Amino acid sequence: MVPTPDVIVVGGGLAGLVAARHLGGGGVDATLYERRETVGGRVQTRERDGYRFDRGFQVLFTAYPAVQRELDLEALSLRRFDPGATLAGPNGRTTLADPLREPETIPATLSNPFVSIGDAFRVARLWWDLRRTEPDAILDGASETTIGTYLRERGFSDRFIEGFIAPFYGGITLDRSLSTSSRVFEYTFRALATGDITVPAGGMGAIPAQLADRVRELGGTIETDVTVESVSAAVDDSNGVDTRESAGTVTVDIGDRTAEADAVVVATDPPTARELTAVSSVPTDARACVTQYYALPADTDLATSRRLLLNATEAGPNHVVPHSAIAPEYAPDDESLISATYLGEQRGISTTTKHNGVQTDASLAERTRSTLESWYPDRRFDGLEPLHTERIPFAQFAQPPGFRDRLPDVREPAGPVYLAGDYTRWSSIQGAMESGRRAAKSVIDDLSR
Ligand SMILES: Cc1cc2nc3c(=O)[nH]c(=O)nc-3n(C[C@H](O)[C@H](O)[C@H](O)COP(=O)(O)OP(=O)(O)OC[C@H]3O[C@@H](n4cnc5c(N)ncnc54)[C@H](O)[C@@H]3O)c2cc1C
């Protein structure tokens, strides 16, 4: 009888969980080691006093192909954002709806100061073109530039680009300068045109929790609080050919013990993946952000329905999210929960800065309070109570034009060592899950040769 192959997965983010699940489905004994107490990696939810705090504001796009393939969306009880956004600045607030989904908002859209009639037609044209393009064809498309240049070449006005696209895509790519690849713009724009922006009622952490259940159902093992310190492939190249068929076993070092397997999938964050595998093409140029959560009295109405509030100027947070208006499960009944996300690490820029140049939680809360008071000049936000701050130095990796040509393949390391992680495709839930599936398929194909 042929023994069942053993495969170790290092890292329990979305990529590692999806890899382990497909390995289990392919008849492999998968053991996943995760360094933290819980799986999820960059997608986590912390629960405290009836609040749910995601690890930074992030959302699930239902149109992503891997999301549809890997998740039971029904079981996640998704809560949907209203399409569009409220644009806010010292001159007031204005709602930008999605007239393609809500035709009754066409007159309001056409009178919005940030959108010219030409911009509205160009959005409709883009929507039409991208809806008909296959997602993978977008990622592998022929032409590529920055998001800013892409939109200017299509004739969009500066007011639309700077007032709406910069904060909206600043939120998606954590890069308000719009220097990210236009392929990321096209891919996400297509997802926005064809699906919903959502969060699970139980918080974003419900996504990895569901994937972990699938891993276990398929016979896989998940060990948390286990840090893999090194990965060594015993490559048998006695015949002078270093092929995966001739490759031997892999040993991982877990502090006081070692574990052996027929293959290892390294599914850690990019900097750790580079350390463990020495693959120098793993990207390590980070996009950082800080999300701070606040309680407000339950009857506070930010007059934005279930839409994001985007900062039309560069001062203050990039976006503010009315979490409990979108998902009431995110706060106790008698409170509402909002968050403000600042792009970058918030390193020293003013006298309110302390602790090695990082803005304190209190100074960030004060900035949020004064920003909200400038957006709502007839209100005071003295009751804004900071509850929790998430500082995320490595939220995504930088994705300038051409970035995909430089990313490593899942088979890049020597021997039976594979890579899985957003950094093999693009920095997103879609990229991470798709990478996990591809890594598992490569392992299974190679082991069955
Ligand atoms: C604030 C923020 C906002 C975002 N917004 C969105 C969004 O709205 N939509 C979207 O699609 N994407 C978004 N993303 C990106 C998306 O979350 C990531 O691309 C994706 O989760 C990456 O998953 P991963 O499995 O590749 O890596 P990770 O989530 O980084 O997982 C790696 C795992 O490996 C573990 N690990 C590391 N080293 C070791 C070791 N030595 N031994 C054992 N385990 C180890 C880590 O603890 C971690 O659990 C956002 C990310 C952040 C942080």
Sign of CA dihedral 72, 77, 83, 89: negative
42, 68, 341, 397, best to mutate for ligand 1 pocket (most atoms within 8 Å of CB): 42
Output the CA 422–ligand 1 centroid distance in Å.
8
**C-beta of residue 112 within 8 angstroms of C-beta of residue 324:** no
Pairing mode, strands 29-33 and 6-10: parallel
Predicted pLDDT at 248: 73
Contact 253, 246 (CB under 8 A): no
Give pLDDT, residue 143. Answer: 86
**Bridge partners, 179 (sequence order):** none
Residue that has been written with the tokens 């489905």 in this structure: 25
Ligand 1, residue 15: give the atom nearest the CA.
Answer: 25
Q: Is 290 in the pocket of ligand 1 (CB under 6 A)?
A: no
Q: Which residues contact 100 (CB under 8 A, 6 or more apart)?
A: 123, 124, 127, 193
Q: What tens digit of pLDDT does each residue of 52-62 get?
A: 999 999 999 99
Please report the pLDDT score of residue 353 as a whole number. 47
Quick one: which atom of ligand 1 is closest to the CA of 436? 25
Residue whose CB lies within 8 A of the most ligand 1 atoms, among 53, 58, 293, for a mutation test: 58
pLDDT at 111: 76
Atom of ligand 1 nearest to the CA of 289: 1
SS3 letters across the chain? CCCCCEEEEECCCHHHHHHHHHHHHCCCEEEEECCCCCCCCCCCEEEECCEEEECCCCCEECCCHHHHHHCCCHHHCEEECCCCEEEEECCEEEEECCCCCCHHHHHHHHCCCCCCHHHHHHHHHHHHHHHCCCHHHHHCCCCCCEHHHHHHHCCCCHHHHHHHHHHHHHHHHCCCCCCCEHHHHHHHHHHHHHCCEEEECCCCCHHHHHHHHHHHHCCCEEECCCCCCEEEECCCCCCCCCCCCCCCCEEEEECCEEEEECEEEECCCHHHHHHHHCCCCCCCCEEEEEEEEEEEECCCCCCCCCCEEEECCCCCCCEEECHHHHCHHHCCCCEEEEEEEEECCCECCCCCEECCCEECHHHHHHHHHHHHHHHCCCCCCCCCEEEEEEEEEEEEECCCCCHHHHCCCCCCCCCCEEECCHHHCCCCHHHHHHHHHHHHHHHHHHHCC
The number of the ligand 1 atom at minimal distance from the alpha carbon of 421 is: 26
Class at the top of the CATH hierarchy for domain 6-44+205-282+407-447: alpha beta
* 6-10/263-266 β-pairing: parallel
Residue 197, φ and ψ in degrees, nearest 5: -100, 125
Residue 231, beta-bridge partner list? 252
Rounded CA-CA distance 146/153 in Å is: 11
Q: Is any ligand 1 atom within 6 A of the Cβ of residue 434? A: no
The CB-side HSE value for 190 (13 A sphere, CA atoms) comes to: 18
In angstroms, what is the span from residue 109 Cα to ligand 1's centroid? 36
Residue 425: the pLDDT is 97
pLDDT tens digits, 291-300: 999 999 988 8
207 touches 19 (CB < 8 A): no
Q: What atom in ligand 1 is closest to the CA of residue 226?
A: 43
Q: What is the pLDDT of residue 246?
A: 46
Bridge partners of 53? 46
Q: Is any ligand 1 atom within 6 A of the Cβ of residue 416?
A: no
**Angstrom distance (rounded) from CA 343 to CA 290:** 6
Q: Is 11 near ligand 1, meaning CB less than 6 Å away? A: yes
Whether 60 is in the pocket of ligand 1, judged by its Cβ within 6 Å, is no
**Residue 208 CB less than 6 A away from ligand 1:** no
Among 189, 428, 434, residue to substitute to test ligand 1 (most atoms within 8 Å of Cβ): 428
Contact 32, 221 (CB under 8 A): yes
Cα 77–Cα 69–Cα 34 angle in degrees, nearest 5: 80
Fold of 48-62+199-203+285-397: D-Amino Acid Oxidase; Chain A, domain 2 (3.30.9)
The partner residues of 323 in beta bridges, in order of sequence, read none
CA nearest neighbour of 191 among 431, 440, 439: 431
- Ligand 1 centroid to Cα of residue 14, in Å, is 7
Strand order in the sheet with 250-254: 230-233, 250-254, 257-261
What distance in Å separates the CA atoms of residue 67 and residue 392, rounded to the nearest whole number? 23
Residues of the chain with pLDDT under 50: 240, 242-243, 245-246, 349-354
pLDDT at 348: 52
Measured from the Cα of 341, ligand 1's closest atom is 1
What residue's CA is closest to ligand 1, atom 38?
Answer: 268
Place of tokens 């977008």: 138
Strands 308-311 and 286-297: unpaired
